[in-house]
Amino acid sequence: MLRFEVLSASPETPWTIAANLSYDDVIDRLERINQTFGLDIATIHDEALYSKSYQPKVQEEVVIFGGNAMLENAIQKADDRNLEAARQIVQQAKVYLDAFFQLHPASEALKKLYQNLLDYDAKLAQMKDMSQTEYLVAQKMSKFSSYSARRKNDGQRLKPDFLTFLRNSCFYLPKKLNMQGKVAIITGASSGIGRALAFRLGQKGAKLVITGRKPAPLEETRAELETNGIEVLALIADSSQEADNARLVEATLQHFGRIDLLICNAGISMRALVEDLDLDVIRQVMDINFYGAVYAVKYALPHLLASQGTIVGISSIAGFRGLPARSGYSASKFAMHGFLEALRTELLKKKVHVLIACPGFTQSNIRRVALTKDGQAQGETPRDETAMMSAEAVAVSIVRAMEKKRRYLVLTRQGKLTVFLNKWWPALMDKLVYNALAREVNSPLS
């Protein structure tokens, strides 16, 4: 049973620091934690305490949100056929709600959620002895039954739900990619999106090979992954060097014996006008961003064909819309798009999935190490990093797109709008993009 003595704490306790958090603040925090890491008892418990003990209705709503999130996580584990983990989550959630019943014994919502947990626990016990096909059929029939009941209650026609059932029945088995046991290579994984992807894939059961040029941050990432129970091989490698990519593939095969996922994430940016920059800056950006992906794909491709695996290119909105003062970076991403799109078409009948992922502005180190006109790192970011999407949130979206075997992923509202407007109103976008980047701190355009 969980302990809640702190709920009656005096105003002098550290918990009152969080008293200014609104309900929306708490829910937003829980949603971010859930999307990135999944929820456990300690997280929900702590966040419920943050919700201010002398506002019981707010606390009850936070507990209900947390319980539902844990139930959703259990369902996701069951969908991945990890039934033992699903049952553990359900048992944790039951213990968690038992404790909160002492605080809110009359809550109908808590009672309903607890009953849902009991029902799903019984369902998991039945699933344990099912074959994969039996499980899929049961899942689809369950969805069909819920569709039918809802239509009947609403007095609507059943035909659309019947078609939905047929489309999702066992005759059309889901193509969702299961990451459990997959061997994933992630280049440039010692920071930013690459690091977040390593943790996200590791949490889903993948075995990792991560690379980076700097030993210290690479070793730190490796140690933290292993501390979290994730099997990982860390290799110091420069993506711009063909020999390093060949060595990367060879080391992966020696250690794990196969390659299922290749994520070409290593990248660098630049910030200078074409008339001012040294051409070696563009060469360096192209070597890392474009040729780094080409080399990795070339050497890993025979093994990805054998495993019918997945190739992911971490590109950018700059691969759809050229950015002034970032000409070399934009060129490298346009080149990556063309290369991977052509590759996808070549592999159309060979069952290798190719995803081009295009984040918008993301919280990372890329702007601090971006090259200036003479090839030096600029040192400071010219943009407000706090207003950007986090690397962890980007990783969640990319992994979800991998699981669903999507062809493209364009992130952020601003990014999607940029792609859309550039397609239909390119002259307008020239002006909008120029003005937006001219407002940056120390912009070469100003």
Question: Exposure pattern of 129-160 as b/e (b: 16+ CB <10 Å)?
Answer: eeeeeebbeebbeeebeebeeebeeeeeeeee
Per-residue model confidence as pLDDT tens digits over 126-172? 776 655 555 555 555 554 444 444 444 444 444 444 444 444 444 33
Structure tokens of 176? 């969702």
How many CB atoms are closer than 10 A to CB 412?
19
**Contact call for residues 26 and 47 (beta carbons, < 8 A):** yes
Amino acid letter, residue 11: P
Per-residue model confidence as pLDDT tens digits over 365-414? 777 778 888 888 777 776 766 777 888 899 999 999 999 999 999 988 88
How many CB atoms are closer than 10 A to CB 334?
18
What pLDDT, on the 0 to 100 scale, is given for residue 31? Answer: 64
On the question of pLDDT at 1 being above 60, the answer is no
Domain 183-438 in this protein, CATH class: alpha beta
Position with higher pLDDT, 220 vs 371: 220
- Where are any strands of DSSP class E within 279-424? 310-314, 353-358, 408-410
Mean pLDDT of the chain: 79
- Give the distance, in angstroms, between the CA of residue 39 and the centroid of all CA atoms in the same chain: 15
On the question of pLDDT at 229 being above 80, the answer is yes
CA 335 – CA 297 distance, rounded (Å): 14
Grouping H, G, I as helix, E, B as strand and the rest as coil, residue 160 is: helix
List phi, psi (to 5°) of 196: -65, -40
On the question of pLDDT at 313 being above 80, the answer is yes
Domain map (residue ranges) of the chain: 5-127, 132-167, 183-438
Residue that the structure tokens 């808590």 belong to? 110
Per-residue model confidence as pLDDT tens digits over 238-278? 999 999 999 999 999 999 999 999 999 999 999 899 999 99
Q: Which of 299, 329, 408, 434 is catalytic?
A: 329
Burial of 347 (0-12, 13-18, 19+ CB in 10 A): middle
In this prediction, residue 123 has a pLDDT band, given cuts at 50, 70 and 90, of confident
Structure tokens of 87? 């049952």
Amino acid letter, residue 395: A
Known catalytic residue at 329: yes
pTM exceeds 0.75: no
